[in-house]
């Protein structure tokens, strides 16, 4: 078989797999868009907000983060900066803002992200708590937009939207496009049926009363944001996605950084699924309990099957063994590429982000990215089976701002 033709088939098979998985999200995301906007429900018109920012060696970016928060058009808030034993100038950067009455600076011995988050949680006075990564850049209306997601008393948490801020490399430009699909598109759909599996560590808000029932972040645990999210579901609260509450943050700008981040996320999913396995198919936890098996199949099983298929397909074809007629594979290829591009265009339309179409030339890299994510999941499973230590492998920051 011609190598070019074989490459096309592999690309098509990969795209087809991605396209099939997105089909159920279209009607759900449209239903999300058609909902009428509601006023948030709190004891006061402007509830007091505590914004907790944990940081470890974030000297390059923490200043931009703090300044963006302090430039918010919302007035009732405090900012709790927690230095997790940094060895760079993070603490010094934080202390530059201590003269602002809204800012509280705390330093502690290095204990990991969850430990730093809990220090901030214990100091927080707000009715609502925001947890934000140290590289996050707020828009002026991020706080007010997040609060608008608390539309009923049973909404325990709101997940915001995030977008890469460093768009100087092909890798981060691809991440920018895929964020529209994985965040803007998928989270709209899952929010419609109360099945959001994670409140992003980049930008998440919780009622203080909710955290009093669920307990704090689980320390020494990677994927602490996902694990807490599942406990919020367990406690009977709804979680809402607010796409217009945006925080801009750095995407991994190197292959090594991307690999470490995604392995950490995959391990977090595996660990969370294991300790909360009692939720699977348990009607006590509503529709979320029946969505979880689907989520785990799509995030764990399908990547492994896709990896096996991609490896086996060329071997079988070179041996003239055709488990699937070549004409079918060709059709799958064209359908797959069309469905993937359509999903991306649909997602960009939902986010009203037409200016990101200028990065469309990086789309061919999506196939390589998908293949890499398959390997990531395999490696995460191997690492978990080895019971290797879980570490907070934070990204090396660049400090680049492209927006």
Instruction: Output the pLDDT for position 325.
Output: 62
Enumerate residues 6+ apart whose C-beta is below 8 A from 301. none
Residue 141 — pLDDT band, cuts 50, 70, 90? very high
Q: How would DSSP label each residue in 68-89?
A: HHHT-S--SEEEEEEEES-SSS
Instruction: Output the pLDDT for position 243.
Output: 96
| Mean pLDDT value of segment 46-60 | 96
Exposed / middle / buried, residue 261 (Cβ in 10 Å: 0-12, 13-18, 19+): middle
| Mean pLDDT value of segment 273-292 | 96
A 10 A CB-CB count for 276 gives 18
Instruction: Output the pLDDT for position 17.
Output: 64
C-alpha dihedral sign at 326, 330, 336, 337: positive
86, part of any domain: yes
- pLDDT for residue 1 is more than 60: no
- Bridge-based pairing state of the strands 128-132 and 49-55: parallel
Instruction: Output the pLDDT for position 283.
Output: 96
pLDDT in tens, 333-353: 677 778 888 999 999 999 999
DSSP 182: I
pLDDT in tens, 94-123: 999 999 999 999 999 999 999 999 999 999
269, part of any domain: no
In whole angstroms, give the CA distance from residue 354 to residue 349: 7
- pLDDT for residue 7 is more than 70: no
Say how many domains are in the chain: 1
C-alpha dihedral sign at 373, 59, 158, 339: negative
Q: Give the structural domain span for 92.
A: 38-252
229, part of any domain: yes
CA separation, residue 296 to residues 231, 246, 274, 346, 385 (Å): 17, 27, 11, 25, 17
Instruction: Say if CB 243 and CB 289 are below 8 A apart.
Output: no
- Bridge-based pairing state of the strands 155-164 and 103-108: unpaired
Mean pLDDT of the chain: 89
110, part of any domain: yes
28, part of any domain: no
* CATH label of the domain that carries residue 101: 3.90.550.10
b/e code 17-49 from CB counts within 10 Å (16+ = b): bbbebbeebeebbeebeeeeeeebeeeeeebbb
393, part of any domain: no
Residue 5 — pLDDT band, cuts 50, 70, 90? low
């Amino acid at each position: 078989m011609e190598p070019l033709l074989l490459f096309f088939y592999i690309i098509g098979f990969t795209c087809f797999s991605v396209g099939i998985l997105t089909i159920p999200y279209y009607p759900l995301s449209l239903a999300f868009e058609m909902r009428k906007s509601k006023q948030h429900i709190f004891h006061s018109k402007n509830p007091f907000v505590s914004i907790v920012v944990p940081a470890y060696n974030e000297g390059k970016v923490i200043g931009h983060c703090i300044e963006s928060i302090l430039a918010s058009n919302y007035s009732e808030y405090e900012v709790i900066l927690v230095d997790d034993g940094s060895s760079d100038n993070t603490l010094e950067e934080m202390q530059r803002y201590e003269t602002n009455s809204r800012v509280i600076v705390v330093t502690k011995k290095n204990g990991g992200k969850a430990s730093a988050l809990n220090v901030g949680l214990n100091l927080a006075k707000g009715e609502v708590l925001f947890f934000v990564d140290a590289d996050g850049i707020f828009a002026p209306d991020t706080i007010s937009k997040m609060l608008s997601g608390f539309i009923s008393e049973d909404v325990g948490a709101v997940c915001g939207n995030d977008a890469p801020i460093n768009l100087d490399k092909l890798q981060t430009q691809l991440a920018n496009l895929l964020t529209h699909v994985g965040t803007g598109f998928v989270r709209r759909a899952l929010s419609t049926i109360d099945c959001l599996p994670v409140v992003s560590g980049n930008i998440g808000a919780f009622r203080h009363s909710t955290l009093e029932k669920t307990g704090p972040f689980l320390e020494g645990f990677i994927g602490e944001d996902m694990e807490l999210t599942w406990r919020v579901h367990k406690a009977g609260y709804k979680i809402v996605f607010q796409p217009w509450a945006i925080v801009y943050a750095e995407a991994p700008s190197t292959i090594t950084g991307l690999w470490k981040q995604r392995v950490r996320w995959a391990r977090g999913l595996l660990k969370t699924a294991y300790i909360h396995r009692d939720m699977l198919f348990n009607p006590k936890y509503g529709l979320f309990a029946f969505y979880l098996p689907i989520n785990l199949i799509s995030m764990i099983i399908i990547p492994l099957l896709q990896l096996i298929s991609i490896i086996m397909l060329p071997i079988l074809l070179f041996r003239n063994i055709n488990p699937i007629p070549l004409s079918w594979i060709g059709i799958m290829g064209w359908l797959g590429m069309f469905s993937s591009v359509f999903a991306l265009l649909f997602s960009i339309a939902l986010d009203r982000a037409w200016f990101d179409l200028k990065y469309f030339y990086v789309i061919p890299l999506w196939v390589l990215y998908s293949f890499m994510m398959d390997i990531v999941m395999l490696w995460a499973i191997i690492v978990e089976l080895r019971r290797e230590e879980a570490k907070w492998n934070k990204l090396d920051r660049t400090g680049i701002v492209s927006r």
